[in-house]
Amino acid sequence: MIISNRRLTGLAVGVIAELVEEIGPLWQGRHQARLTSRPRKRAVGAGAKHRLVFVDRLLATLVLLRHGVTHDVLACWFGVDRSTITRAVGEVRPLPAERGCTVSPDVRLRTLAEVVDHLGASGTTGIIDGTEIRVRRPAAGRKDRDKFISGKNKQNAVKSMVVTDAEGRVLWCSPARPASCAHITHARQLGLVKLVADGPVVEILADAGYQGLGAQTGGRVVTAPHRKFMKNAPDW
């Protein structure tokens, strides 16, 4: 049911099949490497078998990324323990990120630097924005617990910066970080200013949350003007 319901995963069945074909062997290789990397009393493959095959692990991860549901809910859906979901998501989640975003059959973007180079080479306008995903409240006693509280939504969340082209195709999504970080601070920490200012000539559109990047990048990041510049806008 989950694999055929696009509302749950956000992906068509054909795209999920491509993910399984491409990153399934990579997950299997890493799994076998973990099993053989430590002394064992039993042969690899002995003992209890997986109750959650790779396809289910991938689906659980996709649903988590799209809807931000708790691991407990996913555990009920798939009929396993919560710790199994936590371990599965931890193993699978990095794989799509390493795969990158396919722009064309021969172009795949994996880093922000590659995205900026692609925008410059193709003359394509980019769009950046931040997105927040609600998460469970961090455990009591965690020293950075308050950093997860979003100043915008007043909820515990993590934040990512997404780069798309003018048609809305996703080119890159940053690793998540606690949501208390401002959009513009997050962009600076990711190195966007240096990449755009020192790289090829590009045009990147952003909302008012990124005001200030225009001055730092020579106008290559275009934002809504601050109210003090509404009448006398600077050259950049």
Q: pLDDT tens digit string along 37-55?
A: 878 777 766 666 667 889 9
pTM of this structure: 0.73
pLDDT at 77 > cutoff 70? yes
The mean predicted confidence, pLDDT, of the chain is 86
Distance (Å, whole) CA 115 – CA 119: 6
Instruction: Give one DSSP letter per residue of 71-114, joined into a string.
Output: HHHHHHHHTS-HHHHHHHHHHHTHHHHHH-EEEETTEEE-SHHH
Average of pLDDT values for 67-95?
90
Residue 94 is which amino acid?
Answer: P
Return the structure tokens found at 202. 């590009």
Q: Which one-letter DSSP state was computed for residue 218? A: T
Are the CB atoms for 61 and 88 separated by under 8 Å?
A: yes
Query: 3-state DSSP call for residue 153?
Result: coil
What are φ and ψ of residue 88, in 5° steps? -65, -45
